[in-house]
Amino acid sequence: MRKKLLINLAMVLVIPGFLFTVSCAKKTIRADTSLTQQAEDEAAAEKAKQAIEEQRLQEETERKATARNMFLNEDIFFEFDSAVLLAEAQAILKKKAEWLINNPDVTATVEGHCDERGTNEYNLALGDRRAASAKTFLMDLGISGSRLTYISYGEERPVDPGHNEEAWAKNRRGHLTIN
């Protein structure tokens, strides 16, 4: 009787154990395949994520470059014998100020230029006024004066060498450069 009990006990312990083992083994195999699958999925996801990230970075770089180029290339224009900032010039300067806020390490120079019609000396002073008014406007938008210098080139550096209103309009400009 006692012997039968022991066998029964053994059966109780072994069979589920066996069963467990079997199921375990089976489960392990299944788990292995799913792990591989998962790794592959994860790798793909990672790759996709990286691609997205890369694209994002590239877009970011492009966006930054565009913003930088806009900052550098988008000139403001003036009327003849005037250093008054027109509405369009103010809008452009606001974008430039935004860029300067987003790029706090940058220091910039404001250049003042004139068309050829006035006389050389007066144009040096007018260019000085133009650059100074653009600088003051940027400072009013929160850019520290210590980040901005300005210089007048008078009529000495035209972008368009023509002798007509079209050329003059292009040459009466304020231009920003990064130091």
Partner 1 sequence: MKKCYIKTICLIIILSFVVGTGICRGGYDYIDITHPFLRKIPIAIPVFKKIYSGDAAERLSKTASDLLSESLEFTGYFKILDREAFLVDMQTVTSLANVNFHNWTSIGAELLVTGGVLIEGNQVEMELRLYDTFKEKLLVGKRYKGLIKNQRKIVRRFCSEIVFILTGDKGFFNSEIAFVSKSSGNKEIYICEFDGYNPRQITHLKSITLSPAWSSDGKWLAYTSYAKGNPDLYIKHLRQKRGAVISKKGINITPAWVPNKFALAATLSFSGDPEIYLLTGTGKVINRLTKKRGIDLSPSWSPDGKHMAFVSKRPGTPQVYIKNISSGAVRRLTFQGRYNTQPSWSPKGDKVAYAGMGNGRNNIFVIGIDGQGPIQLTHDQGDNEAPSWSPDGSLIVFSSTREGPSRIYVMTAYGTDQRRLLALEGEQTEPDWSPGMVNN
* List of residues contacting partner 1 (CB under 8 A): 81, 117-122, 124-126, 128-129, 132, 150-153, 156
Question: Considering the complex, what minimum distance in angstroms separates the CB of residue 111 from partner 1?
Answer: 12
Integer CA distances (angstroms), 142 to 44, 88, 102, 145, in order: 46, 19, 12, 9
Q: Which is nearer to partner 1, 121 or 166 (CB)?
A: 121
Question: Considering the complex, what minimum distance in angstroms separates the CB of residue 169 from partner 1?
Answer: 13
Q: Which is nearer to partner 1, 104 or 161 (CB)?
A: 161
Q: Which is nearer to partner 1, 98 or 128 (CB)?
A: 128
Task: Report the first-to-last Cα separation within the chain, whole angstroms.
Answer: 100
Q: Of 70, 126, 130, give the one whose Cα is nearest residue 103.
A: 70
Q: Which is nearer to partner 1, 152 or 171 (CB)?
A: 152
Q: Of 64, 157, 74, 57, give the one whose Cα is nearest residue 106.
A: 64
Do 141 and 92 touch, CB atoms closer than 8 A?
A: no
Q: Of 157, 156, 160, 178, give the one whose Cα is nearest residue 169.
A: 160
Question: Considering the complex, what minimum distance in angstroms separates the CB of residue 119 from partner 1?
Answer: 5
Question: Considering the complex, what minimum distance in angstroms separates the CB of residue 158 from partner 1?
Answer: 12
